[in-house]
Amino acid sequence: MSLSVVGLSHHVAPVELRERVTLDLAAAAELARGLGDAVCLSTCNRTELYLWDIAEERAAATLEAAAGEPLDGVLYRLHEDAAALHLFRVAAGLDSLVPGEGEILGQVRDAYEAVTPGPVLDRVFRQALGVGKRVRTETAIGESPASVSSAAAALAAQVFGDLRGRRVLLVGAGRIGELAASNLVSRGAEIAFVANRTEETAHDLTRRFGGAALRLDEIPTRLGEVDVVVSSTGSSDPVLRAVDVPSRRRTPLFFIDIAVPRDLDPAIGGLGGCFLYDIDDLEAVVAETLAGRRAEAERGEQLVAEEAERFHTWRASLDVVPAIASLRARAEEIRAAELAKVRVSDDERRTLESVTQQILNKLLHLPTVRMKEAAVTADGVAYADAVRHLFGLDDERRP
């Protein structure tokens, strides 16, 4: 039995491929339960299956079915310590498109809590959540831009040089849209309109940041009044197509699509006066912020490495702990059986119980310590097998 992860992310797959396998929380949990002892983590930047004692080919076939095409050369597969280390880095935000971004830890927690994993997956995910929290509290890696939303605002600022006086149409009033609005306003932009499937949610955002609430079908009529469109809905279909964008604009119109699946028709980028950026384009923005946070990222990597070593030690102990427990149980069985043959008074029996128990503990102490030490080396399994053989712990008939 082994721990493994099969998945794809922004490191190896473009957004047009990632969006095909992006699942909401309910669908991800259903997929994981269908596989067995598994957790499915699906975000805008990754879809990964964490597995215990499940064939990787089966998991890969599941992702390929969702993508509708073979994923050879795109899927990565990691095992045991490497799989655990990867999850710890993901939870800590070290593997994100925007290192240190804050949303991923909550997404890892949601994926874990949406299913009922077995002991090994439960352990590795609890450790991941713990180290993710430590990296955020003990380092400054989460400083701006700490999310895709803040990176989107930084990209808009790069495009215009100064966002003061620039009018923004925000598509999507969820958490990501709220963060985008906050970052844009902090840079001097004006939220002119908020479009959302649910108008009341759009009104909630306009009460905080200003602007007018729109229905999604009203977006094309307002494009001539804004400079920037930032879209972040959870729609599985485009919310704006190229044919709906008015032509013959006098001023440039910039579209920033931070949704996966994408909200905006890629053909919009080919229209005159229109400039379209998607989530993969944020990498350049992120790269400029990395130099100032390199030391914090290194500290985060140290914390993650320490947690990975703890997991390695615990995981390795699983091979020898049953042998240790069996050895102690066998010794106790012999001790109790021999004492039962002795006819003594109650006081004498209590003395014998105490003395023989101390002898047993001292006799087994060093073998127990040596087996635990060997557990973290390549000899751990050999030690456990030798103990089982020497003491006949696997024999059905004991002398």
Question: Does residue 274 have an active-site annotation?
Answer: no
Continuous H helices in the chain: 15-18, 25-35, 56-67, 80-91, 103-113, 119-138, 148-160, 175-186, 199-209, 219-222, 282-290, 294-340, 346-375, 380-390
Task: Name the 3-class secondary structure at 168.
Answer: strand
Say how far apart CA 264 and CA 324 lie, in whole Å.
60
Q: How far is CA 182 from CA 75, 224, 253, 328, in A?
A: 36, 23, 21, 61
- Structure tokens that stand for 322 in this block: 């049953």
Find, among 2, 6, 5, 87, the residue nearest to 53 by Cα. 2
Q: Which residues contact 111 (CB under 8 A, 6 or more apart)?
A: 25, 28, 29, 39, 40, 41, 42
Angle, CA of 8, 10 and 15, to the nearest 5°: 95
User: Alpha carbon 117 to chain centroid distance?
Assistant: 15
> What is the bridge-based pairing of β-strands 76-79 and 46-52?
unpaired
Distance between CA atoms of 111 and 238, rounded to whole angstroms? 26
| Cα 42 to Cα 30: distance, rounded to the nearest angstrom | 12
3-state SS assignment for residue 41: strand
Assess contact for 292 and 165: CB atoms under 8 A. Answer: no
Rg value, the chain, Cα:
29
Catalytic entry in 3, 29, 32, 44: 44
| Cβ atoms 186, 254 nearer than 8 A | no
Cα dihedral 82/79/54/109 (nearest 10): 0
In terms of Cβ atoms closer than 10 Å to its own Cβ (0-12, 13-18, 19+), residue 380 is buried
Residues labelled catalytic: 44
